[in-house]
Structure 1
Amino acid sequence: MTRWKTPDRPAVKRRKRFYPWLLVLLVAYLGMAIYQSFKPLPDGISVASPLLPVSDVAFLADVTYLDAEGNRQSEQAIFDEMLRLINQAKRLVVLDMFLFNDFAGEANGDYRPLSAQLARALIERKAQMPGLEAVVITDPLNTMYGGLTLEHLTALRAAGVKLIVTDLTELRASNPTWSGLWYWCCQWLSNTAEGGWLDNRLGPGQVTLRSYLAMANFKANHRKTLVADAGEDWVGVVTSANPHDASSMHGNVALRFQGPAVAELLESERAVAHLSGDDIDFDPLQLKGAVAPGGPRLQLLTEGKIGDALVIAVQSAEPGDRIDIATFYLAHRDLVDALKSAQARGVQVRVLLDPNKDAFGFEKSGIPNRPVAAELHEAGIPVRWCATNGEQCHAKVLLKRSLSGDAVLHLGSANFTRRNLDDLNLETNVRLVASKETPAIADATRWFDRYWHNAEGQRLSVPYPTYADVSRWRYWQYRLMEATGLSTF
């Protein structure tokens, strides 16, 4: 006869006492994750300015390619222009840059020392013009969230340049799976640049465990902007490029402009300073004016307003219109679905993507672009890949040209992903509305066609089959990563 062991009654009682506490911890974790995902945005974040008149607008691009002999060539214009603007400023320079360091990961190369060049230009200009209000805003990733001290940032402070390391606390959670725990267990832990014992995966030096715990939130001030005075006027630059040495060979774009939108750009940066407990000590720019009928107009967009505008641009396209997209990451579901619908109703869509294979000496998996490209290809949308050789195709561009002769150009810092378009990262884009003949629109059109057609024997892109990936497993892996935030894109 089978004899059943009598349960250990004290053990059962201990488990019963433990269950309510486990439930409390689970509710606290889920509650924090949900709150951090949907909490109110800070003031001045996620804005869309009116369409404003714009002058002296120019499209700039950095392009790296293999020439007809197979030699690597690089054309750089963006930071050359930024350095020029800094070197002539007399009253104000406000620079907001995501990556501002010389980290190279595992990569080796003859990189342009962008971080040192930009820091030196700011320091020298401040010395020449002591009354210049010079402000640099950057992301805490550059110091590994307080775990490193960078010489060029220390030198900027010593020279009188105001350095604002963005406080990301008030931003919504990009990775709520981790942030739900982080805000209970670890946020209060201080960090130090002394005594780190873990290798810095991004560059030299050693950091603390706390640096990596903070990094896992995947929050970022991902903006890339410049505001400066230019004589009696003001000039703004919005770009996809970082002053990051190992990114100096990346393909990038920028728009330089003057007019009332520069005042909107400055106020958007003041909002970042405020959420970081600081300020830009300069009065708001008085550049308001009426929209000139028929002339180019520009709208400043930040955070979630960027995604709204991109989707509207695609959804409003009519049969015969053209939409060209070139981007480092394309993953946002609303935008992907809008592109497929546009193609189905007769809009001529072309998509140029980074193959997502290179990241500073590390090999990437091809997610999200390769699964998304397979989806677009199946829908009949022509897709090509940037022909990268260690560098990245880092632009984020949507160019729409209508049969009527009108055109809309979107560009800036925001990748076309949930993290960049759904009020999570800090981002800045511009939307230029003009005729196709406007020089900035014409230059953007030539830039895209140069990539698409490999003009003059320059190897800039390769056909879709080169990196085609139809794996359903990898497709659903991308969908899970995009939906949950358990990714770096």
Structure 2
Amino acid sequence: MKKVVVKTAKWIIALAVVSYMLMAIWQSYKPLPKGLSQRDALQPAMDVAFLADETWTGADGRRHRDQAIFDEVLRLIAQADRLVVLDMFLFNDFGATADDAFRPLSRQITQALIQRQAAVPGLTAVLITDPINTVYGGVSSSHLKALREAGIEVVMTDLPRLRASNPAWSGFWHLCCRVFGNTNDAGWLPNALGDGRVTLRSYLQLLNFSANHRKILVVDEGEQWTGLVTSANPHDASSLHDNVALRFSGPAALDLLDSERAVADFSGAGEAIPATTDAIFNGAQRERAQEPPSNRERGPVRAQVRAQVRVQVLTESGIRDALLAAVAGSAPGDRLDIAVFYLAHRELIEAVKAASARGVKVRVLLDPNRDAFGIEKNGIPNRPAGRELHAAGVPVRWCNTHGEQCHAKMLLRRPQEGPAELIVGSANFTRRNLDDLNLETSVRLLASSDRPAITAAGAFFEREWSNPRGRRSSLPYAHFADPSWRRYWQYRLMEATGLSTF
């Protein structure tokens, strides 16, 4: 009898192990939901603008800030008459206190949406967001509740439909824990992200490290459609971060809208974003096409701008491919400037090193990865990655942060010949952000180097890099140089396995 029990136990353990391994493999390689990993065509664009939020220390030692991104988001919401679609990763006031002079971004966006919905009853307003804002169902969000009560559609992204960022854990979670769901009225554990208490199930889902990390806005603006793609979150405790954004009007805004329909669809809200916007847009364009040139797009001058300025919407691995192509396509003498919160993607790091070796003028500005909402971090992954670049002769500087983060995700390529190329958006330069794991959106702008958006992006990078007029925005490489081989291989292991938050 004892032998039978032992043999049965062995079979059960073996079955459990095989089931776990098969689930981990399936969750790592399962098909993506339809409409993800988007690489749209380059589209002619109008009214293109580069926007930035900057926080820096002056020569007087005082903190200064200059913000533009959410001012523009609020302006665009306030004028919309037909449609507002936002997809924002962090949409909460977790971790913010009045003592820190944080801007109440989540409340401002909530109020702007509610006020516009009340002023224009026929408006369709949709917010797509990530379950982290309810700690995966463990707490109730007052902002999301107020939006729903005002008639605004709130779509919570169905993260289990995505591939596993952390398959070592997700293989187990999908077998043992997903079926139990969650509740916001039975919390007994401290909420590590904010006030209140959450269930154990919140933490079990958090360990999957999956996210809808997108940050976009699409609205109607007069007779055109306008999109905005950014690295910034409407998250109060993130309101001092450095961030970047690109605003544009034209057909690419509808490509952006199509990418959001895909998320709404696989999250069970397929009808949230109306499918009639293409017809509305095309109709408006046909009406304007019949107007005399003096009334249409400011005549030949505006038509020339459209021909020279093009925007491409990219999501998930489409962003990776565009970044790699931009770096690989850089020739000796070209300028390549990178500013990013997390740099860890192995293929991209090797491409940057190779570009520098063949004579491309590369500069890399990195967050030192020391500040995370009051928690001091150990510098991974940027300090090991920065060490590798520095050893290869790539100039590296660190953002001079004091509690805030250098949260931009930006690559600017200015060749000696041909159009400049700017890629900005939500995606950090890591495996999780670029290899079809998180949901991400970035945009690629092609325009001549003298176009305002390109010159503004270049000026932003130069301010951060060169510290003009007494600014203390960045520090030399030696300030955060990290010679530790242990941390270097720790970063490599975390990047390869997904056992990390980057």
Question: What TM-score range do you get, normalising by the shorter chain?
Answer: over 0.9
Q: Paired residue for 1:392, among 394, 405, 417?
A: 405
Q: Distance in 1 between matches of 2:273 and 2:392?
A: 52
Query: 1:4 maps to which residue?
Result: none
Q: Distance in 1 between matches of 2:477 and 2:196?
A: 40
SS state of the match for residue 330, structure 1?
Answer: coil
SS state of the match for residue 495, structure 2?
Answer: helix
Q: Distance in 2 between matches of 1:106 and 1:35?
A: 42
Query: 1:467 maps to which residue?
Result: 480
Cα offsets for 1:126-185 (capped at 9, x unmatched)? 000000000011000000111111111101000011111111121000000000001100
In structure 1, list runs of 5 or more residues that go unmatched: 1-9
Query: 2:436 maps to which residue?
Result: 423
Q: Distance in 1 between matches of 2:371 and 2:326?
A: 30
Deviation of residue 406 (structure 1)? Answer: 2.1
Query: 1:240 maps to which residue?
Result: 231
Cα offsets for 1:180-212 (capped at 9, x unmatched)? 001100000121110201111011110000000
Deviation of residue 284 (structure 1)? Answer: 3.5
One-letter amino acid matched to 1:297: R
Cα offsets for 1:379-431 (capped at 9, x unmatched)? 00000000000000000000001011521000000000000000000000000
Cα offsets for 1:268-288 (capped at 9, x unmatched)? 011110010003342132557
1:229 lines up with 2:220 in the alignment: yes
SS state of the match for residue 161, structure 2?
Answer: coil
Q: Which has the larger displacement, 348-357 or 104-113?
A: 104-113
Q: Paired residue for 2:342, among 326, 329, 334?
A: 329
Q: Normalising by structure 2, what TM-score?
A: 0.93
Query: 1:312 maps to which residue?
Result: 325
One-letter amino acid matched to 1:441: I
Q: Distance in 2 between matches of 1:207 and 1:25?
A: 29
Deviation of residue 25 (structure 1)? Answer: 1.1
Q: Distance in 2 between matches of 1:17 and 1:128?
A: 68
Cα offsets for 1:359-397 (capped at 9, x unmatched)? 001111100000000000000000000000000000000
Q: Is this contact kept in 1: 2:310–2:445, CA < 8 A? A: yes
Query: 1:442 maps to which residue?
Result: 455
Cα offsets for 1:317-355 (capped at 9, x unmatched)? 111111100000000000000001111111111000000
Q: Any residues of structure 2 matched to 1:189-228 within 5 Å, and which? A: 189-228=180-219
Query: 1:112 maps to which residue?
Result: 103
Q: Is this contact kept in 1: 2:228–2:246, CA < 8 A? A: yes
Q: Paired residue for 2:118, among 119, 124, 127?
A: 127
Query: 1:63 maps to which residue?
Result: 54
Query: 1:21 maps to which residue?
Result: 12
One-letter amino acid matched to 2:210: K
1:432 lines up with 2:445 in the alignment: yes
Q: Is this contact kept in 1: 2:96–2:102, CA < 8 A? A: no
Query: 1:375 maps to which residue?
Result: 388
Q: Distance in 1 between matches of 2:449 and 2:187?
A: 54
How large is the RMSD of aligned CA atoms in angstroms?
A: 1.6
Q: Is this contact kept in 2: 1:352–1:383, CA < 8 A? A: yes
Q: Distance in 1 between matches of 2:479 and 2:59?
A: 19
Q: Is this contact kept in 1: 2:50–2:245, CA < 8 A? A: yes
Q: Distance in 1 between matches of 2:136 and 2:486?
A: 34
Q: Distance in 1 between matches of 2:72 and 2:94?
A: 23
Q: Paired residue for 2:67, among 66, 76, 101?
A: 76
Query: 1:44 maps to which residue?
Result: 35
Identical amino acids, percent of aligned pairs: 61
Query: 1:7 maps to which residue?
Result: none
Change in Cα spacing, 1:385 to 1:294, as seen in structure 2 (3 Å) is same
Query: 1:302 maps to which residue?
Result: 315
Query: 1:98 maps to which residue?
Result: 89
Change in Cα spacing, 1:284 to 1:90, as seen in structure 2 (3 Å) is closer
Cα offsets for 1:24-54 (capped at 9, x unmatched)? 1111101000000000000001111001101
1:280 lines up with 2:293 in the alignment: no
Q: Paired residue for 1:271, among 258, 262, 267?
A: 262
One-letter amino acid matched to 1:423: D
Q: Is this contact kept in 1: 2:96–2:236, CA < 8 A? A: no
Q: Distance in 2 between matches of 1:85 and 1:105?
A: 26
Change in Cα spacing, 1:281 to 1:413, as seen in structure 2 (3 Å) is closer
1:366 lines up with 2:379 in the alignment: yes
Q: Paired residue for 1:357, among 358, 366, 370?
A: 370
Q: Is this contact kept in 2: 1:107–1:360, CA < 8 A? A: no
Query: 1:88 maps to which residue?
Result: 79
1:259 lines up with 2:250 in the alignment: yes
Q: Is this contact kept in 1: 2:261–2:273, CA < 8 A? A: no
Question: Which one has a larger percent helix, Structure 1 or Structure 2?
Answer: 2
Q: Is this contact kept in 1: 2:38–2:318, CA < 8 A? A: yes
Q: Distance in 2 between matches of 1:276 and 1:150?
A: 19
One-letter amino acid matched to 2:483: V
Q: Is this contact kept in 2: 1:106–1:361, CA < 8 A? A: no
Cα offsets for 1:36-77 (capped at 9, x unmatched)? 000000000111100110110000000000112111011110
SS state of the match for residue 385, structure 1?
Answer: strand
Cα offsets for 1:92-140 (capped at 9, x unmatched)? 0001100000001799611000000000000011000000000011000
Q: Is this contact kept in 2: 1:356–1:366, CA < 8 A? A: yes
